[in-house]
Amino acid sequence: MSFPFPDECRQVAEALFPAGDLEAAADFAEALGIGAEYRKMLGTDRTSEETERFLSSFRNNLDLLIRKTWVEKTDELRKETLRHRVPPFMTLVADGEIGQALPEFGAILKELAFLLFGEQGQREDFLEYAFRVDTEMGLFWWYASRLQAVELDADGEFPWALLFIGLCYLTNF
């Protein structure tokens, strides 16, 4: 990392990757300000109506973020392409294909950063910029930057826990 990672974030962030520790994931969610909802959703049966409602809320909020973000006319196609990536991603989540869903979510978040922050969202110093704007937001975009590269055994609870961090954060964005 080429920028000074805020001390209050360093410990919780370093514990999340690559540890695979559920408690580290919960601590990370707390640092993002989504701890209560995160713990609630993680404890919910993945096939329950409550989980379906949550995933629907996430999908609707993400779609709203994408649709309502103003972009240059030249980036409209990029915006629509991102909107069309969301349904297949949601299918991966619903089917429990977390090993495929995590890197796809990372790619979606990378494109979302572009839509929300323009060219700045793609620059090397984006994380430093995001931390300067807001510590929690910087921590979230740091998390997002790690998803495409993370290699996890797709079985078990930790991959779900890792995914639900981002889902909870964006549901409340």
3-state secondary structure labels for all residues of the chain: CCCCCCHHHHHHHHHHCCCCCHHHHHHHHHHHCCHHHHHHHHCCCCCCHHHHHHHHHHHHHHHHHHHHCCCCHHHHHHHHHHHHHHHHHHHHHHCCCHHHHHHHHHHHHHHHHHHHHHHHHHCCCHHHHHHHHCHHHHHHHHHHHHHCCCCCCCCCCHHHHHHHHHHHHHHCC
- Whether a cis peptide bond, with omega within 30° of 0, leads into 103 is no
Query: Could you read off the pLDDT of 24-41 as tens digits, one per residue?
Result: 889 999 989 999 999 999
Query: Could you read off the pLDDT of 41-87 as tens digits, one per residue?
Result: 988 888 889 999 999 999 999 999 999 888 888 889 999 999 999 99
pTM for the predicted model, two decimal places: 0.88
